[in-house]
Amino acid sequence: MSKSELTPPLANESLVAQRITLRDIAKELNVSHVTVSKALRDLPGVSSKLKIRIQKKAKTMGYVPDPVLASLSNYRLSKKANVIQSEIAWVNPWKQTGKTEIYNEFDLYWKGALETANSLGYRLQEYKTSEFSLARLSGIFTTRNIQGVLIPPFREQFTDLKNFDWSHFAVVRFGQIDDQLPTHSVKSAQVSNTMLSFDHARRLGYKRIGFVCEYQRNRYFGAGFNWAQMSLPPKDQLPLHKLDLSMSFEKMQLAFNNWLNKYNPDCILADNSETHEMLSNLEWKIPQDIGLATTSIHDTSIDTGIDQRPHEIGKAAIRMLVALIAEKNLGIPECRNETLIEGKWIDGPMLPKKRDS
């Protein structure tokens, strides 16, 4: 028996389900196939009412985009100058105007997001809650057909979350997920970044590695530090020291000095600039007396440590947001996605190789 005899014959062409095309949908609704294409891609130029009709009809008819044609279309578009399709809102919740700009990482989030939004044909526009209430912004975004909302890091700044109709928008925020605004998020891989810092300090010959972190931010950084320490003998494992920024600087420095004298670290990892300042005030010489590195070289006065790649974090946030818009994945999700961006180690003079190592 030949191979052809073993292979079942193809069904008769009349019985093969034909792929539903844009023209098929257009014919059903008596509109052009260009209008159908725009509606299915949420492009401007089609009324909201007609867009909904087209999308419902496409779903009813079982329309599935042809991946080959989509790939070809994307290739052709990539050869042309990108045309702005729609707007993505960057909602700045800081009440103090310009607050986010003083943080280099936040500024790099914006630049990375802006670059990727432009490359994908979107315009990124900032809206400040210091100028518009969330209730007002909800109406503005609906009127302007804005479907994507990006939110930079904030610390207890939102006061009227319930006044924004989140169900109409795809939302991505920077920073860790919390119960205040449990949306999808993109952030630095703080646990692995701290472990990376610890490992580099060990390779450079440091044995008693301490970690000094802000009280509010120790959750993930601290987890990475505590896990990394498990590779050390118990006598070299140091408790992390938390800075309580609600204290006066003098009291905070006194507590830090007590920790230094009690545990005698030969190297400190820090997520803040206060550690550097306090060491200088206490007349510790860096790196002669103690090595120093940071989990964020962009927002501390320490020149050695982790580059959290905030520009890449901004780019990843836009990619996630655009995907959510395309999927019609709107509102506060039942299953939240968190994308972590790995950092990279930056060598510097504050943590050189130990001479006696």
Listed by start position, the domains of the chain span 17-78, 86-188+311-342, 190-308
For position 14, what pLDDT does the model report? 40
For position 131, what pLDDT does the model report? 87
Can you name the CATH fold of 86-188+311-342?
Answer: Rossmann fold (3.40.50)
Mean pLDDT computed over 253-281: 95
- Whether residue 5 is predicted with pLDDT greater than 70 in this model: the reply is no
The architecture in CATH of the region 17-78 reads: Orthogonal Bundle (1.10)
- Determine which of 5-14, 120-129, 202-211, 212-221 has the lowest per-residue pLDDT on average: 5-14
Quick one: pLDDT band at residue 165, thresholds 50, 70, 90?
confident
Mean pLDDT computed over 293-321: 94
Cα separation of 239 and 259, whole Å? 9
For position 347, what pLDDT does the model report? 95
Cα separation of 202 and 200, whole Å? 5
For position 156, what pLDDT does the model report? 56
- Determine which of 138-152, 208-222, 234-248, 275-289 has the lowest per-residue pLDDT on average: 208-222
Quick one: pLDDT band at residue 245, thresholds 50, 70, 90?
confident
- Whether residue 12 is predicted with pLDDT greater than 50 in this model: the reply is no
Quick one: pLDDT band at residue 104, thresholds 50, 70, 90?
confident
Contacts 24+ apart (CB under 8 A), 251-258: 252/278, 253/278, 253/281, 253/282, 256/212, 256/282, 257/282
Cα separation of 168 and 147, whole Å? 7
AA letter at 77: L
Mean pLDDT computed over 147-175: 82
Mean pLDDT computed over 265-290: 94
Residue 193 CA: distances (Å) to CA of 182, 226, 253, 292: 24, 13, 26, 15
Rg for the chain, CA atoms, rounded: 27
Contacts 24+ apart (CB under 8 A), 92-100: 92/126, 92/127, 92/128, 92/129, 92/130, 92/152, 93/129, 93/151, 93/152, 93/154, 93/157, 93/158, 94/128, 94/129, 94/130, 94/154, 94/157, 95/129, 95/130, 95/157, 96/130, 97/128, 97/130, 100/152
For position 218, what pLDDT does the model report? 62
- Whether residue 76 is predicted with pLDDT greater than 60 in this model: the reply is no
Mean pLDDT computed over 253-279: 95
Quick one: pLDDT band at residue 6, thresholds 50, 70, 90?
very low
For position 177, what pLDDT does the model report? 60
Mean pLDDT computed over 40-52: 81
**pLDDT, tens only, 309-343:** 999 999 999 999 999 998 889 998 988 899 999 99
For position 246, what pLDDT does the model report? 85
- Whether residue 94 is predicted with pLDDT greater than 90 in this model: the reply is no
For position 181, what pLDDT does the model report? 79
Domain 190-308 has CATH 3.20.20.80: no
Mean pLDDT computed over 116-138: 89
For position 204, what pLDDT does the model report? 95
**pLDDT, tens only, 250-264:** 999 999 999 999 999
**Same fold: 17-78 with 190-308:** no
The model carries a pTM of 0.75
Q: Which residue has the higher pLDDT, 22 or 157?
A: 22
Quick one: pLDDT band at residue 123, thresholds 50, 70, 90?
very high
Cα separation of 193 and 343, whole Å? 6
For position 316, what pLDDT does the model report? 96
For position 4, what pLDDT does the model report? 41
Over the chain, what is the mean pLDDT?
84
- Whether residue 98 is predicted with pLDDT greater than 80 in this model: the reply is no
Mean pLDDT computed over 202-207: 94
- Whether residue 15 is predicted with pLDDT greater than 50 in this model: the reply is no
Mean pLDDT computed over 201-221: 86
